[in-house]
Amino acid sequence: YKIACLPGDGIGPEVTDSVIEVLNAVAEKFQQSFEMSKYLIGGCAIDATGEPLPQETIDACNSADAVFLGAIGGPKWDDPNAKVRPEQGLLKLRSELGVFSNIRPLTVFPKLLDASPLKPELLKDVDFVVVRELTGGIYFGAKNRGEDFATDECRYSIQEVERITKVACEMAMQRRKILTSVDKANVLETSRLWRDVVSRYVAENYPEITLEHQLVDSCAMKLIQNPSHFDVILTENMFGDILSDEASVLAGSMGLLASSSLGQGVGLFEPIHGSAPDIAGQGIANPYASILSAAMMLRWLNLTKEADAVENAVQQAIANDVLTRDLDATSSVTTKDATLAVIEYL
Amino acid sequence: YKIACLPGDGIGPEVTDSVIEVLNAVAEKFQQSFEMSKYLIGGCAIDATGEPLPQETIDACNSADAVFLGAIGGPKWDDPNAKVRPEQGLLKLRSELGVFSNIRPLTVFPKLLDASPLKPELLKDVDFVVVRELTGGIYFGAKNRGEDFATDECRYSIQEVERITKVACEMAMQRRKILTSVDKANVLETSRLWRDVVSRYVAENYPEITLEHQLVDSCAMKLIQNPSHFDVILTENMFGDILSDEASVLAGSMGLLASSSLGQGVGLFEPIHGSAPDIAGQGIANPYASILSAAMMLRWLNLTKEADAVENAVQQAIANDVLTRDLDATSSVTTKDATLAVIEYL
Ligand SMILES: CC(C)[C@H](C(=O)O)[C@@H](O)C(=O)O
Ligand SMILES: CC(C)[C@H](C(=O)O)[C@@H](O)C(=O)O
């Protein structure tokens, strides 16, 4: 398997190295072969080439079986008015690869209940997936800046809503078959389209699924008040950005949360945490979210037993208190320690 | 003082009656006079006149000193594709009155710590205000529905951003002088304008204020992880809708949260909870959010000692366990009981 590795900025390179080490261990144990090469994206790409996503990286991703991304951005490239910015690289990568569905599973590790801001009784049985539309909406609509105003257009087509609904439905069918579609249909025209299309598509193709619609403001409350209610949450790009980050606090740390971005072609896998410039280069970043993202990648490549083995190894490492600083403030476990623990439990 | 009362739908009429009773008691005690009349808005207005905001209501609001609104909407008028919908009445009211700033204070009553989904230690010292732009952005931009697509435009002008920034700054100056401006400047053109204008305006006019910028996804996390960090949160219409509802869960119940919507002219005061159709007509709705909204109204009318008296009375009622069902599941306190308690403590 050819894996394009895009370390990016901040702690990105450190956690990408962990993934490479773990995948090498998986290859050895399971007689697989992973060809992993590194390519530039984000701030480091701007510094080296002037562009946040060089053509060489796009080509490498397109000819790979899967892409692993560390993280992008940092204070050095933080000016939102700069012509060239790291995020443009990520947005362009998503659109070049056509990965229209971003999938973020949310489970709470019992060991980490203490780290969550929520009362533990609310976290029992929390187990849901956010399915976010990733290549449409206000992120990719026309933008305009006049002398004294600015505009962004949010646009969705029926086909864009249908294909992401299908992804969410397939996921729900493997789970509790409860689909919560989130919109702002009492205000937005795109949300009214969204709600119509989702309702019709689910009724026609997945009659076994229980579909509910929630307004985004109300969903932002229920995620905290009653998180165990949810099974699959389906939403558009901007709402998904906000709600999936909000949901991540339930787990106690972003350091455990993996994501995949899928379309027709190659899949993109990344931890949901950012580049964490404050701890970059110190060797103390939590690599578990990245390793779990690599496990999602293995599963997507149909390497099921390999994926299971990696997930189990991470679970064992956590159960045995191999916790980086974000999970246990008193700990001195390094990125390297945590990576080696996972490899050992493998 | 002329107060236009807009009871609306669901529990709206019940909590509006509580406000009227409390204001009558205030009038008597403080030798004031409030002339209160009721006008139609929302679903009941659609049923009676075909329109969610009849001209008579607009005229009455414009010639009043202040407007109190209960709540609007309900299952009967819930079809997002209906031509006429209750929410249109509320949006039109906001724009007709030009109330461009929505102000939602968030404090946590010690008595209600148990009702919050967050761990109590996180709620210590939580005391912030959300200042939401209310008459611009994607709510009021051009909408379009084609055969197979839909669009919504988000638009902001410099002047719209400046005037809401001024409101937030004035508020911050009365408080801890920390202003958190929330946007999505790494993706949206309107957010880049927002950030530019806020930065310049604060630097030029309020040098004592500490200004920080947060991305909306990150703010959605920090509101839960570290809510005591915030003092004044300033944001645009759509983000403000989501974040202020999210923030409301901290308090344990929406039943205590008041809001005001202000512009150049008359002010609009309403509880942030909705019409709660599930408990409408049963006489068990919590009237405190409405009574506290009336207190905000009194304060805005410069009736400071009257406002203080009402707020103290609500605090005493709560401290003496006059708690409706939303605050204490085992309670049988009715709307009437809670209202009478406030009047007694007055
Ligand atoms: C970096 C940014 C453009 C990105 C987004 O908003 O999509 C990030 O927040 C994410 O969720 O992956
Ligand atoms: C009813 C709806 C249109 C409204 C809004 O989105 O502004 C409500 O959610 C609010 O926050 O007052």
- Tokens 């080439």 correspond to A49
pLDDT of A253 higher than 90: no
CA of B254 from ligand 2 middle (Å) equals 14
Least confident of A125-139, A241-255, A283-297: A241-255
pLDDT at residue A142 greater than cutoff 90: yes
- Which distant-in-sequence residues (6+ apart) come within 8 Å of B224 by Cβ? A117, A118, A224, A246, A249, B118, B246, B250
Is A238 found in the same domain as A137? yes
Residue A107 lies in a domain: no
Contact residues on chain A for B143, CB-CB shorter than 8 A: 188-189
What is the SS3 assignment for B170?
Answer: helix
Look at residues A241, A239, A235 and name the one whose alpha carbon lies nearest to residue A274: A241
Contact call for residues A80 and B186 (beta carbons, < 8 A):
yes
Of all protein residues, the one whose alpha carbon is nearest to atom 9 of ligand 2 is B241
The pLDDT tens digits for B304-335 are 999 999 999 999 999 999 999 998 889 999 99
Nearest CA in chain A to B162: A148
Domain presence at residue B20: yes
Atom of ligand 2 nearest to the CA of A186: 3
A176 known ligand binder: no
Structural domain contains residue A286: yes
Q: Is B90 in the pocket of ligand 2 (CB under 6 A)?
A: yes
Scanning chain B, the segments in alpha helix (DSSP H) are 12-30, 43-49, 55-62, 86-97, 120-123, 158-173, 189-205, 216-225, 237-248, 288-300, 304-319, 335-345
Q: B12-30 and B304-319 are packed helices; what angle lies between their axes, rounded to 10 degrees? A: 120
* A178 within some domain: yes
Question: Does B287 lie in the same domain as B171?
Answer: no
CB of B87 shorter than 6 A to ligand 2? yes
Distance CA B247, CA B255 (A): 13
**Does the structure show a pLDDT above 90 at B252?**
no
**What's the mean pLDDT when you consider all of chain B?**
96
Report pLDDT for A337. 98
* Catalytic-labelled residue, pool A217, A305, A308, A321: A217
**B30 plus B146 within the same structural domain:** no
Tell me the Cα Rg of chain B. 20
* Candidate of B9, B91, B94, B241 to mutate for ligand 2, largest count of ligand atoms within 8 Å of Cβ: B241
**Of all residues in chain A, what percent carry a pLDDT higher than 90?**
93
Residues A212 and A228 in one domain: yes
User: Tell me: the pLDDT tens digits for A37-88?
Assistant: 999 999 999 999 999 999 999 999 999 999 999 999 999 998 888 999 999 9
Predicted confidence (pLDDT) at residue B162 exceeds the cutoff of 90: yes
Strand order in the sheet with A143-145: A143-145, A149-157, B149-157, B143-145
CATH of the domain at A50: 3.40.718.10
Would you call B153 and A154 a contact, using CB atoms and an 8 Å cutoff?
yes
A237 and A264 housed in the same domain:
no
pLDDT of the residue at B94: 98
Cβ contact A142:A153 at 8 Å: yes
Task: Indicate which residue's Cα is closest to atom 6 of ligand 2.
Answer: B241
Percent of chain A at pLDDT exceeding 70: 100
> Each residue of B117-146: pLDDT tens digit?
999 999 999 999 999 999 999 999 999 999
B210-215: strand order across its sheet: B35-38, B2-8, B66-71, B267-271, B258-262, B101-107, B127-133, B232-235, B178-183, B210-215
Mean pLDDT of B21-44: 98
**Residue A298: pLDDT over 90:** yes
Residue B254 in this model has a pLDDT that exceeds 90: no
Q: What's the pLDDT at B323?
A: 94
Q: Tell me the pairing of strands B232-235 and A127-133.
A: unpaired
> How far is the C-alpha of A318 from the C-alpha of A338, rounded, in Å?
9
Average pLDDT over residues A252-268: 94
* CA nearest to B81 within chain A: A192
Q: Is the pLDDT of residue A112 over 90?
A: no
Overall number of domains in chain B: 2
In terms of Cβ atoms closer than 10 Å to its own Cβ (0-12, 13-18, 19+), residue B160 is: buried
Domain-embedded: residue B169: yes
Where in the sequence is the domain holding A74, given as residue range(s)? 1-102+257-346
Distance, CA of B227 to CA of B248 (rounded, Å): 11
Of B168 and B108, more confident? B168
Catalytic, B321? Answer: no
Q: Distance of alpha carbon B11 from its chain centroid, rounded?
A: 16
pLDDT at A254 over 90: no
How far apart are the C-alpha atoms of B96 and A345, rounded to whole Å?
65
For residues B200 and B141, membership in a common domain is answered with yes
pLDDT at A80: 86
Same domain, B14 and B43: yes
